[in-house]
Amino acid sequence: MAKVTELVRELALPIVEGTGCTLWDVEYVKEAGEWFLRVYIDKEGGVSIDDCEAVSRPLSDLLDEKDPIEGSYTFEVSSAGADRALKKPEHFARYLGEPVEVRLYRPRNGRKEYVGTLKSYEDGAVTLEAGEELRFEKAEIAQVRLHVVF
């Protein structure tokens, strides 16, 4: 049986693309004892509340009809955000040369967070330029996000 996120991705993709947006990610996570289904969308120039609503309403109806998830959950549609998490190879490819923040599971040289320019992504390993070249293996990495400078 396919994972919930894969099933929802298949259902969401035509709806999201029909609104002129792209599907960034789908999450199905348990937080504080409750399940959340989150669909993250993106669009050149930014995502508006109207974009989220244009995806949310028909996708909610389709989820009710197809019923791919047992039990109750909270459904959300939102922008991937300026500090979006990079998870897939295509995410990393799109943001090569951009500032990112790498968070590690365990400290390296006393630090768990590193900020630098994304130089490469290869089989889950991330290389940053941060005054020196730093390579982080997939098993070390808790999360990679775009680093927003205000």
Q: Do both 109 and 137 map to the same domain?
A: yes
Does one domain contain both 95 and 141? yes
Helix, strand, coil percentages (3-state) for the chain, rounded to 5, are: 30, 40, 30
Low-confidence stretches of the chain (pLDDT beneath 50): 1
What pLDDT sits at residue 150? 79
Tell me the pLDDT tens digit for each residue of 35-47.
999 999 999 999 9
Q: What is the pLDDT of residue 99?
A: 97
Same-domain check for residues 64 and 100: no
Task: Give yes or no: residues 101 and 75 share one domain.
Answer: no
Return the ∠ at Cα 82 (arms to 76 and 85), rounded to 5°: 70
**What pLDDT was estimated at residue 2?**
61
Q: Same domain, yes or no, for 35 and 75?
A: yes
CB distance 144 to 126 below 8 Å: yes
Residue 18: C-alpha distances to residues 13, 24, 47, 57, 140 (Å): 8, 14, 14, 13, 38
pLDDT value at residue 1? 46
